[in-house]
Amino acid sequence: MARDWIIKGGLIIDPSSRTMEEEDLWVEKGHIKGIDPHISQEGIPVIEAQGLWVTPGLIDIHVHFRDPGYEYKETIETGLKAAAAGGFTQVCPMANTLPVNDTGAITLYMVEKARSIRGPILHPVGAITKGLKGEALAEIGDMVEQGAIAVSDDGNPVMNSEVMRRAMEYSSYFGIPVVDHCEDKNLSDGGSIHEGVVSTLLGMKGIPRTSEEVMVARNICLARQTGSRVHIQHLSSKGSIELVQWAKEQGIPVTCEVTPHHLTLTHEAVKSYDTNTKVNPPLRTQEDRDALIEALSQGVIDCIASDHAPHSLKEKDVEYDIAAFGISGIETALALVLRMVHEEKLSPLRAIEAMSTIPARIMDLEGGSLKVGSPAHITIIDPERTWTVRKEELVSKGKNSPFLGWDLKGKAVLTMVKGEVVWTSKGFPMP
């Protein structure tokens, strides 16, 4: 049930109006009613937020909830709970479920299941092609009708450029972006980690940067030809950034995201042989990582998305070569981003913008703003709170994190969706 609240004394960070002020915020009937240095209203419960950040609800446009089909890894319920604990108020799950989300019926199943759970709002991303096979187009219109907000074959690339062209033309008819996992399978096949000194040292087959870059270039060319919006997922290489920058300078409608793990780790982490470092695209070099951070702070990379990819021990407690790709990341995303803020590599405003305002814009979602009249999707963050990433404390079923045991600084302490508090951290004083 949505309630009325006054959130008192927090640092209100609103990238949509480029403001950062210590003020009170008034929530009424699930919407933002007012922001003022001093608000007091008889009978309305007060959430004390002194020393905390009050931000637009975080939005993660790239998650895997494994439901239907792989519920032993994650369900819509556990995924939404993990998202709320990570500070997220809206999430976009990918289509690589079983069955694949390539019809309106599966999209509707996801939407209805999420609606029955008190938590973040779920917006499914439908498949581009039937069965993620890269051949025939999926039922795009049907999925959009049931609530899909974009299409992607994530996990798999669309190798056939003609199919991709048709997907772009068709999707723009529905006003949705095509979202692409850029990987040339002919270049990457059999690889487990970035192709470079570490792969040579460990004797593992590598995945070259070019496997991503040629597909980024291909998508840019197709977006230029069709005029359709394309969003590039989990950018990992410096070369991809250069291509996106060029495309933006030409006015080609391309946006892109980066993950917290690519911003934090490099292929050096693979020397541990920890299969939780195995992810697609792979962790790359320090030069790539530095370029990703710089491009994010400059806005060449538009936003941050977790690519939350929960797996069970069965898929991860095996030799590196045969382990599944993926990192369970929705609960560590915010703290890893705040690490860059604490190191002054990213401003607080830009960090929050990249996790709320811009994702909302890319996927045409309501939210990402604290302007009066907006829905009260709000995240309250303690930027100074230190915590240790512990397997037992992760809400997600996926414990496959390379950050287990890390001490991090910064945590969401309250997550509010349309005025309803869907999560608070342990010990947070609620009125």
Amino acid in position 376:
A
Q: How far apart (Å, rounded) are the C-alpha atoms in residues 140 and 189?
A: 29
Candidate list 307, 317, 364, 407, residue with the active-site label: 307
| 320 touches ligand DOR (CB under 6 A) | no
Q: How far apart (Å, rounded) are the C-alpha atoms in residues 168 and 21?
A: 41
| 208 touches ligand DOR (CB under 6 A) | no
Query: Looking at 174, 325, 406, 428, which residue binds ligand DOR (CB under 6 A)?
Result: 325
| 280 touches ligand DOR (CB under 6 A) | yes
Binders of ligand DOR among residues 136 to 155 (CB under 6 A) are 154-155
Residue 14: alpha-carbon gap to chain centroid: 19
Q: Provide the token pair at 320.
A: 């590196």
* Residues 20-59, mask of contacts with ligand DOR (x by CB under 6 A): ----------------------------------------
| 279 touches ligand DOR (CB under 6 A) | yes
Which lies closer to ligand DOR via its Cβ, residue 181 or residue 229? 181
Query: Looking at 309, 335, 408, 413, which residue binds ligand DOR (CB under 6 A)?
Result: 309
Size of the site for ligand DOR (CB under 6 A): 10
Half-sphere exposure of 185 (CA within 13 A, CB side): 9
Q: How far is the CB of 255 from ligand DOR (least distance, A)?
A: 18
| 235 touches ligand DOR (CB under 6 A) | no
Q: How far is the CB of 325 from ligand DOR (least distance, A)?
A: 3
Does 307 participate in catalysis according to the annotation?
A: yes
278 Cβ neighbours under 8 A, 6+ residues apart: 192, 193, 270, 320, 323, 324, 325, 326
Q: How far is the CB of 360 from ligand DOR (least distance, A)?
A: 23
Q: Provide the token pair at 128.
A: 């581009």
Q: How far apart (Å, rounded) are the C-alpha atoms in residues 396 and 416?
A: 19
The label of the residue with tokens 């239907």 reads: 68
Which lies closer to ligand DOR via its Cβ, residue 96 or residue 172? 96
Q: Provide the token pair at 181.
A: 């996992």
**Ordered strands of the 121-122 beta sheet:** 58-63, 88-93, 121-122
Q: Provide the token pair at 190.
A: 């059999």
Q: Which residues are catalytic?
A: 307
Binding site for ligand DOR (CB under 6 A): 64, 96, 154-155, 181, 279-280, 309, 325-326
